[in-house]
Structure 1
Amino acid sequence: MSETRYTHDEWSSEQSDATVTVDGHELSVAFWDSADEGEADTANDDPPVVFLHGIPTWSFLWRDVAPAVAEATDRRVIVPDLLGYGNSAMHDGFDRSVRAQELMLRDLLEELEIDEFALVAHDIGGGAAVRYAAHRPDEVTDLVMANAVCYDSWPVDFITNLGLPEVADRDHGAVIGQVEGAFSQGVYAEEADDAFVEGMVAPWDSEEGQTSLSRNAVATNTNHTTEIDYGDISADLLCLWGADDTFQPLEYGERLAEEVGGEVIELDAYHWVVEDRPERFAEEVSQFVSK
């Protein structure tokens, strides 16, 4: 795997921007595109690989994995910031649920003229991913779910509490400290990488960011992953799961693989499996989409 080790400022500087329309709102979406970075053969006809992050992360979560997959597979790799996250739109006045993120993704991919792709998702990105794969099965060739929400596995108390009305007005330092702790104390290693923790916290370290985080948290709607028919998913499925996760237990990945049909690979990792095992994660994804 290439030793990219981006800082969050470096990652942000390499992002592109697009405007999508969701529920009548025109919204800015930031995304990292390997085609802009020379990381993949843009003439390759194989379907691109799209990565979706969760809460309270942003596309920076994939800073090591996405470039490595682009290099290993020679495929175009696209990594958007969900609406309300990272460098995408954060202002008030629009839905940030996984239903809305599904619509955002379709509009973004239409603008990029992509109609078939592999989808890799973590946390609530998985909620948007299973909705997309169930509603548009002809578009998703491969689906990798990594400690991802599905069925009624969510929300969790930590996120629910961030969505309480008073969070938007709570002492800024207290909120940032709470989020920082989730990353610094939530990795498998004895000590978290400083660049990871700083990068994950950065989007929320402002008044707008703190309010957006609260809005994102309150938008975690379990109905959006219980209402879909998982039997409609036809993509090849891999559940690449940090086996020691308490937020999204392994049993949900096993249930998904049994119902949809697919493989479960357990990794020695917690919820932030992408940070805990980036090399193994990139290798497994590259092999799976290249089979």
Structure 2
Amino acid sequence: MTAYREWTEAQESTAVSVDGHDLDVAYYDEGTGDPVVFLHGIPTNSFLWRDVVDPIAEERRVIVPDMVGYGNSSMHDGFDRSIRAQEEMIADLLSSLDIETVSLVGHDLGGGVFLRYATHHPEAVEQLVLSNSVAYDSWPIPVITDLGLPQTARETSVEELQEMMDDLFRETLFGDDPNEEFLEGMKSPWNSEEGVTSVVRNAAATNTNHTTEVDPETVNAETLLLWGTEDEFQSVDWAERLEEDIDDARLVGLDEANHWVMEDRPDAYREELRSFLL
């Protein structure tokens, strides 16, 4: 059995309401204690965190959802997948799990979702980790803008999208020997016609206004900016700006790490995260 299949078979599922739509959210739930929620970005899924969460789950409860439109959560057409909508998904998921206070770890768009949540629910977020996160007007990047064109969904075959995804990750992982297990897990959810349409809709939903409308200065949580310093998508300059704007923020840059920092520097990433959260 592949690592991605093992991960998905360990997931649970629940229904949430987003803008009046009833949607299924798949999530990994392990451990006990004060909860920590991990959230991926585009075009990844919860498997991104597979090598990160177990050490945290030794002392805390970890919850790792697939955003709606991603992974094993609802992918059908006809609902918003923006980070505003993902924030609503997180709020309803936490409510359904009876979680009132939480620590949040977000990467890429997931970081943008959690930045919004921390500004809108400042008393509910105790710790916030942002890794190579979208913020301000740092996004969307051109490759995602192009992916979100409506004709991409109509004109791209499953095989073409798989090749596109393979190229994207191989070209942006640090080093010359990418982990094939990681590549399989990142590509697998998009290996269908529904997956092609869903990832295009996800890309189309990237709305800069959803981070420019929130003020990071209102974040109360103790914040760690755990960043790959070689990121070609979300440069460390954005982390430095966040460090200035969030009162209780500390930037830790990991060298020899591109955008997929937890994959490029797994040992260092786990060590820094464990030190902050535990």
TM-score, normalised with respect to structure 2:
0.97
Q: Give the structure 2 partner of residue 11 of structure 1.
A: 7
SS in 2 for 1:148: coil
Given candidates 43, 67, 70, the residue that maps to 1:56 is 43
Determine the C-alpha separation between the residues in 2 that align with 1:289 and 1:190.
31
CA distance in 2, matches of 1:252, 1:48: 27
* SS of 2:239 mapped into structure 1: helix
Q: Could you say which residue in structure 1 is the equivalent of 2:16?
A: 20
Q: Deviations over 1:21-48 (max 9, x none)?
A: 01100000000001xxxxx3x2x3xx21
Q: Residue type matched to 1:256 in 2?
A: L
**Aligned match for 2:95, one of 88, 91, 110:** 110
Deviations 1:106-157 (A, max 9, x none): 1001111111111000000011010000000011101110000000000001
Q: In structure 1, give the amino acid aligned to 2:161.
A: V
Structure 1, unaligned runs of 5 or more: 35-39
In structure 2, C-alpha distance between the alignment counterparts of 1:66 and 1:213, rounded to whole Å: 25
| 2:157–2:193 Cα contact (<8 Å) kept | no
Q: Which residue among 26, 43, 64 is the counterpart of 1:30?
A: 26
Counterpart of 1:132?
117
Query: Shift in Å at residue 286 of structure 1?
Result: 1.4
The reply to whether residue 147 of structure 1 matches residue 132 of structure 2 is yes
Residue 97 of structure 1 corresponds to which residue in structure 2? 82
- Corresponding residue number in structure 1 for 2:57: 70
**Per-residue deviation, 1:6:** 6.7
Residues 69 and 76 of structure 2 are in contact (CA less than 8 Å); yes or no, is this contact kept in structure 1? yes
Which residue is 2:267 aligned to? 279
Q: In structure 1, what is the equivalent of residue 148 of structure 2?
A: 163
Task: Select the residue among 244, 250, 253 that pairs with 1:263.
Answer: 250
Q: CA deviation at 1:189?
A: 2.5
Q: CA deviation at 1:185?
A: 2.3
What's the % identity of the aligned pairs?
52
Question: One-letter code of the match for 1:238?
Answer: L
Mapped contact 1:69–1:283 kept (Cα < 8 A): no
Structure 2 gaps of 5+ residues are: none
State the number of aligned residues: 275
Judge conservation of contact 1:160–1:217 (CA < 8 Å) in 2: yes
Q: Match for residue 37 of structure 1?
A: none
- Tell me how far apart the structure 1 counterparts of residues 130 and 251 of structure 2 sit (CA, whole Å): 9
User: Is the Cα contact below 8 Å between 1:48 and 1:75 reproduced in 2?
Assistant: yes
8 A Cα contact 1:167 1:175, kept in partner: no
Deviates more, 1:261-270 or 1:202-211: 261-270
